[in-house]
């Protein structure tokens, strides 16, 4: 059975590249919505919705964790030829 990660372990774990890009996208949406509201181009209601969506994208993508092979050992990753020469 797979071990469950705590909240802190999920936050500190390595994030897949797709979700790193999603974090940047979410932060960009929040920044854009906030900026457009401050200069008066977009109504505050639309900006609030865009800010909530961007923040949600950024927060959810932070909790994605790279999957690792559960039973992989160092000797599994070494090529068989290399393993044989070191054992002789």
Tokens of 35: 């900026």
Q: Phi then psi for 15, rounded to 5 degrees?
A: -105, 135
pLDDT at residue number 21: 93
Residue 88 has pLDDT above 70, yes or no: no
Contact 64, 20 (CB under 8 A): no
pLDDT tens digits for range 21-73: 999 999 999 999 999 988 888 888 999 999 999 999 999 998 888 876 665 55
How far is residue 80's CA from residue 85's CA, in Å, rounded to a whole number? 9
Residue with tokens 């990753």: 77
Q: How confident is the model at residue 1 (pLDDT cuts 50, 70, 90)?
A: very low
């Amino acid at each position: 059975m797979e071990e469950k990660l705590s909240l802190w372990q999920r936050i500190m774990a390595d994030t897949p590249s797709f979700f790193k890009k999603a974090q940047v996208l979410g932060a960009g949406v929040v920044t854009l919505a906030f900026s457009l509201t401050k200069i008066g181009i977009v109504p505050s209601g639309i900006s609030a919705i865009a800010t909530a969506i961007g923040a949600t994208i950024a927060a959810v993508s932070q909790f994605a964790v790279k999957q690792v092979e559960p039973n992989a050992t160092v000797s599994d990753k070494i090529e068989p030829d290399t393993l044989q020469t070191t054992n002789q």
